Amino acid sequence: MTGERERIGRDDVNDLDAIVELALDRSHIDDTIHQVTDNADAVFSWDYEKGARPGLHKLYEKAKTSQWNGETDLDWSTGVDQEAITAQVVGTEPNWALLGVDVAGTPLERWGRTEWLEFNMEQQNWMLSQFMHGEQGALLCTAKIVETVPWIDAKYYAATQVMDEARHVEVFARYLDTKLSGHYPLNVHLGLLLDDILADSRWDMTYLGMQVMVEGLALAAFGYLQALTPEPLLKQLLRYVMSDEARHVAFGVLSLREYYAELSDAELRERQEFAFEAALRMRDRLLAAEVWERMGADPRQVIRRFRGDRLEDPFQRMLFSKIVPNCKKLGLLDSSGGWLRDRFTEIGVIGFEDWADTASEYESLDEVARDRAGRPGA
């Protein structure tokens, strides 16, 4: 089994300084093109029996009727005043005492309205940029699943997800380009995770890394932002993306639950380690070191002021609310003597294990169907 340094490049998973330093080193990411060697074989299936896996067949039928058009189903004429909306959400002045942060001796102690609003707008630019990049990662990963998964029902559904992911990249890119005030490059921690998922030759690792881990965190993040934003275009965009994402995560859970039931303890341990590495990469990217850097503040200094010696954060923990119960349903929490349970306990997210798994709740998150049912003639 691999150690922490071999998996993530450091001995201590909570080494804040190492996490920030890696986020600021973008030397391995090209300006516009980034290539990853895909080591997987393309697999044909000559078994065309439709519906052999009823859960996947149901998802496929649902996906065919839940497609939406990012060009016409969203009202792009909506005006977005990013500064006014930001002020509405976070206020116009920083209150460091309320946040429990000592900013003495840092550039933050001189911040007023201008810097506070600029920082929060940059945070939004950064967050939606990472959503956009992650959706392109999902586009490539799902295309790989179409090639590599051996079941025809899974190939059928994955093909619908390729279309979903193209639409997601499209709408996030358009929103960033036309409604907000700037882009950010791919976060290094997210980029390393996407590289690992795409480079692994085993089809189930693509499922686990993207469908369960990355898409699971995205589903929780979209739900949080959708509830927080008062901006109607972004709210509807996120509602529709969430409708798709819930099916995508369910697709991963339904497929892997069958496959993992047949794996040995040693094989399951490999999947546990991969899932934990993915969890750490996603947690680490949320520090948004690039935003602090763009604001002229040393990320090494200010992130330490915000976090002290701890990485736990209530918002970050909530983003694991979709991941932990899905890992439990797959049997990953308690195989190998509960190795993944112990790791999730260490990073403070095991409390979500009994929340609803996405395979059980995806239909309740179908906002596209809900809107269509309310239209005249629907």
pLDDT number for residue 376: 46
**Position 140 pLDDT exceeds 50:** yes
The percentage of the chain sitting over the pLDDT mark of 90, rounded to a whole number, equals 72
pLDDT number for residue 6: 65
Q: Kindly list the structural domains of the chain, giving each domain's residue range(s) and its CATH number in brackets, ordered by start.
A: 99-373 (1.20.1260)
pLDDT number for residue 3: 60
**Position 21 pLDDT exceeds 50:** yes
Query: Collapsing DSSP states into helix, strand and coil, what is residue 233?
Result: helix
209-219 as b/e, with b when 16 or more CB fall inside 10 Å? bbbbbbbbbbb
Burial class (CB in 10 A: 0-12, 13-18, 19+), 334: middle
Q: 25 falls in which pLDDT band (50, 70, 90)?
A: confident
68-94 pLDDT, tens digit per residue, is: 999 999 999 999 999 999 999 999 999
- Using the Cα atoms of residue 155, residue 362, residue 351 and residue 284 in order, give the sign of their dihedral: positive
Among candidate residues 141, 269, 151, the one with its CA nearest the CA of residue 212: 141
314-331 pLDDT, tens digit per residue, is: 677 888 999 999 999 999
Q: How many Cβ atoms sit within 10 Å of the Cβ of residue 313? A: 15
Instruction: Report d(CA 301, CA 120) in Å as an integer.
Output: 18
Q: Give me the chain's average pLDDT, please.
A: 91
pLDDT number for residue 231: 98
pTM here? 0.93
Instruction: Report d(CA 319, CA 324) in Å as an integer.
Output: 10
Which of the two residues, 178 and 285, has the higher pLDDT score? 178
